[in-house]
Amino acid sequence: METCLKGIAEHFPLTEKELRGYSSLGLAYIGDCIYELFVRTMVVTKGNDKANHYHQKTISYVNAAAQTAMMEKIKPLLTDEERAVFRRGKNAKSPSPAKNQSSHDYHIATGFEALMGYLYLSGQMERLEELIRICLSDVDNL
């Protein structure tokens, strides 16, 4: 999957300076999509199933509470740069309030998504995949 995502990102190159200028919520916007794509891919490749079953499995990993748990797993493994991106995302002021989740989890999940978006847009596909695989490493029922 890393090669495919890298191919997409290479069509929209950003300089390091441009990337640093992106808002945390902008990074979280694309990071949410990238993380969900990984989860959906893992769910679908576990075997043929009904679409609603895929959806139910996916949403159990793509929600604020689950992303908060994922962040706790990878937090000790982050570089200083990754920690700073996460912190910026966590502290970003969202224009909409958290829905059906705690405010704490919503902020942590936004930081998690910002980190995913940053790694994707900066072309760090191996690192992105490594962290997502660690997040989902003990998941048997995907």
Active site residues: 32
- The distance of Cα 29 from the centroid of its chain, to the nearest Å, equals 9
Phi, psi values for residue 78, rounded to 5°: -75, 150
- The secondary structure of 57-86 as a DSSP string is HHHTTSSHHHHHHHHHHHGGG--HHHHHHH
